[in-house]
Amino acid sequence: SLRLVGGPTCNKGRLEVLHDDIWGTVCNDYFSDNDAALFCRAMGKPYGNAEAIATFGGGYGVIHLDDVRCSGQRDWRSCSHNGWGLNNCGHEEDVGLHCH
C-alpha cells in the first residue's frame, strides 16, 4: 500500500509505503519524475512529479526504500532499490509527490 502524508491536499504529500504492516518513507536518492508518475499511477492518478526534498516535512520511524529506480516498470514493486530498510539517508531526504 501507498499513501501521501502531510500535504495540503490528498494529491500532495510525503510518500509512505506499507511494508510488513509498518508505514515508512522513501529516500529521494535517484528518485525521478518518472518514478513519481509510476507511484502516483499506483494510487489512481495518471501523472506525478517529485517535489523538492522534504517539501511536506520529514517522516519518522523507518525509511523503507532508498536508491529507487523504476526504469520501464509497470508496477512500483518491481523497481530496483537497496533493499527494504537499507538506506544511507535521513528523513530530511524523504520523497514528496504531487499526483494529478
pLDDT tens, position by position, 2-35: 999 999 999 999 999 999 999 999 999 999 999 9
| pLDDT surpassing 90 at residue 68 | yes
CATH (one of 3.10.250.10, 1.20.1370.20, 3.40.50.2300, 3.40.50.10610) for 2-99: 3.10.250.10
Residue 72: its pLDDT value, please? 82
Domain ranges (residues) in the chain: 2-99
User: How far is C-alpha 17 from the chain's CA centre?
Assistant: 7
What amino acid occupies position 64? Answer: H
Residue 97: its pLDDT value, please? 97
For the chain, the farthest-separated pair of C-alpha atoms sits apart, in whole angstroms, at 30
| pLDDT surpassing 90 at residue 96 | yes
pTM: 0.94
DSSP 49-80: EEPSTTTT----S-EEE-S-B-SS-SSGGGSB
Q: Does residue 32 contact residue 25 with C-beta atoms inside 8 Å?
A: no
DSSP state of 46: S
